[in-house]
Structure 1
């Protein structure tokens, strides 16, 4: 995967790391804290064990048309594969694959990204960030042999996407082994039709639409918790692949990650997207064309209400948990 494609891909994992960086979560009771610590210690002890029985799969049927919904992770580990039989068979039986974004057909240039990402009024990053945050950001960039001064003209949302890419590089996981990419590559080999649930252009329009106050607050929170992000991501990968035996660990991690998150971010990054994806799945199911569809969406979109699944249930569908 090219550096440019990798940067675009980092947009898909940004939402997973934003919540983890929040420092506004309410404190846990002692018993809850002990339970969480025990769980985390167990995960850390088996941090390199990414060979598990995880994955989260649902089935929705309307007439002769079936839609499988896979709660996936955008970064993965080579030990994930092959996935469990239920998921592999759901893919095999499907005629059409529905990823959030088809990374093999991204049609956006570096020039177009720069046009969206650069400040357009002469503002610089050091002017909007606190002195402490900017200094720490500089240290992070130096660690990756980059100079923060080269990115002073870029808006906070873009700098945050760079940080998520750094975190991915520091973790045990890789977009190369992401679950959605795994099935997209197979779909190309198997000549299956691929239809996006979202577009990369829509992702960028969302990110560039955030207020500067929201961008700054979120980036500063992220910078403040940067050292913990790779471990958080490793634990996410571990919890996902071991999710069938301990589903609550993943659900709790994703739910907790949104505690204290800016309301504007949650509305745009989760709620609105989930409603839109559910509407698209509804249109497909209502067409009742007799085909079988395999939707691959981040697990977060199956956990935080309004989730894609809860929206489908609101529309009257029976959402069956397969795995």
Structure 2
């Protein structure tokens, strides 16, 4: 399997854990989690064998676009996915991920140029004393020293915390739905076109004001201990999405409550509009091909979503799964 740069991948996953500190949804109880296996346990054990995924279809002339609401971190028990999703992929000529992570390449020098403070500021000067202390404890638990990262801007440190959280959770980027289909597309020589550009992603991440970066990182640090289970529940809600769609929508919606407006606008709303515009270009070109777009479920379910934006443009968007 081609390798991906794991750090760069987690830079693009921060939206997944944007705000579990605001998630008021009650955790799924053990009885519900194990109802299919009839097991009993004192700890929450998530059953990741389900019927999840959200699939839409849009036609224009001889061109068809499928839109899959996916999840970037997954579990091996997810696969194979529901028949309608697998069949939509099989019928497609072109695969449209947000970013083709197998082609992302960046040197440490290039990354540092974007991520380091350029004015002598250090992390301990912009974070509150309490937040910096908690951050130090988090790094120490990872066998690392926060002192080695004081020169990095908050958005970059937030991406490191995302990686730590994923390592603590049941889910893995190795089983992410986008990588699952990208790997198959490479093996089957399907054409791959990106909905976004890696340059655009980096411009977004580095473009946040310092106030926004500090606010979101401090919220992230405050909710750190709950994030891994929040992520587990997200993975559970996604894979059981056809029977628990409201649970996933509520969890994603709640995660945006109280989030800095600049952060939400750039990480979700503006990107959804741009992805919808890209899909409209493809539909209007009407090359007689079938396209399979793979976007995070938040981009497909939380308005202004990609499907809702296409509907506003006058397309009939059919939810087929």
The reply to whether TM is greater than 0.5 is yes
Q: How does 1:74-223 map to 2 (within 5 A)?
A: 74-223=72-221
Task: Tell me which residue corresponds to 2:68.
Answer: 70
Q: Describe the SS at the equivalent of 1:281.
A: helix
- Offset, 1:221: 0.4
Q: Which runs of 5+ in 2 are unaligned?
A: 35-43
Q: How does 1:213-292 map to 2 (within 5 A)?
A: 213-292=211-290
Larger deviation: 186-195 or 44-53?
A: 44-53
Distance 1:179 1:3, change over 3 A: closer
Q: Describe the SS at the equivalent of 1:243.
A: coil
**Contact 1:239 1:250 survives alignment (8 Å):** yes
Q: Distance in 2 between matches of 1:2 and 1:141?
A: 29
Are positions 1:319 and 2:308 aligned together?
no
Task: Tell me which residue corresponds to 1:33.
Answer: none
Q: Distance in 1 between matches of 2:277 and 2:106?
A: 25
TM-score w.r.t. the length of structure 2 is 0.94
Distance 1:43 1:257, change over 3 A: farther
**Contact 1:98 1:195 survives alignment (8 Å):** yes
Aligned residues between the structures: 312
Q: Distance in 2 between matches of 1:120 and 1:41?
A: 49
Q: Describe the SS at the equivalent of 2:26.
A: helix
Equivalent of 1:37 in 10, 26, 29: 26
Q: Distance in 2 between matches of 1:47 and 1:139?
A: 27
Equivalent of 2:300 in 284, 292, 302: 302
Distance 1:177 1:208, change over 3 A: same
Q: Which runs of 5+ in 1 are unaligned?
A: 29-35
1:194-236: CA deviations, max 9, x gaps?
Answer: 0001122211110110000000000000000100000000000
Task: Tell me which residue corresponds to 1:17.
Answer: 17
1:261-318: CA deviations, max 9, x gaps?
Answer: 1000011000110000000000000001100000000000012211111100000000
1:3-22: CA deviations, max 9, x gaps?
Answer: 97111111232112122234
Q: Distance in 2 between matches of 1:68 and 1:279?
A: 15
Q: Distance in 2 between matches of 1:198 and 1:109?
A: 21
Task: Tell me which residue corresponds to 1:32.
Answer: none
1:86-123: CA deviations, max 9, x gaps?
Answer: 00000000000000000111132221110000000000
Distance 1:317 1:167, change over 3 A: same
Q: Distance in 2 between matches of 1:193 and 1:2?
A: 16
Q: Distance in 1 between matches of 2:228 and 2:158?
A: 14
Task: Tell me which residue corresponds to 2:37.
Answer: none
TM-score w.r.t. the length of structure 1 is 0.93
Q: Distance in 1 between matches of 2:131 and 2:2?
A: 29
Q: Distance in 2 between matches of 1:10 and 1:70?
A: 20
Normalized per residue, which structure has more helix? 1
